[in-house]
Structure 1
Amino acid sequence: MEQLKVIQIRKRKQTKEPVRQPDTYDKIVERAFWFVIGFSVALIISCVAFGQTLYA
């Protein structure tokens, strides 16, 4: 049987810089993004619905 080589895993040194917390700008951008997505979907749905009623 072949011997398995054991790989030593060293712990990473802790970085001095803390993880950046999302600030208010990131939250505003995220809300604006989801607002645009939701508004676009609602607009498409309403266009399809009113288009069907006009041509029915």
Structure 2
Amino acid sequence: MEQLKVIQIRKRKQTKEPVRQPDKYDKAVEKAFWFVIGFSIALMICCVAFGQTINA
């Protein structure tokens, strides 16, 4: 029976910087992003609704 070759797997060196936690700036950017998305959708709905009433 042939011997199985054992492959050594090196552990990755730990990065000097740990995984970055989201800070206040990231949260502010996320809130602004969702505000812009929500505002755009609301504006589109209003334009469609008022456009229908004006033309009707």
Q: TM-score, normalised by structure 2?
A: 0.77
Question: Identity of paired residues, percent?
Answer: 85
- For 1:30, the equivalent position in structure 2 comes to 30
Q: Where does structure 1 lack aligned partners over 5 or more consecutive residues?
A: none
TM-score by length of 1: 0.77
In the TM superposition, residue 16 of structure 1 has moved relative to its aligned partner by: 2.4
Would the alpha carbon gap of residues 54 and 13 (structure 1) be closer, same or farther in structure 2, given more than 3 Å must change? same
Measured in 2, the distance between the counterparts of 1:33 and 1:10 equals: 41
Partner of 1:43: 43
Alignment length, in residue pairs? 52
Alignment root-mean-square deviation, CA? 1.8
Unpaired runs of 5+ residues, structure 2, are none
Task: Measure how far apart 1:19 and its partner are.
Answer: 1.1
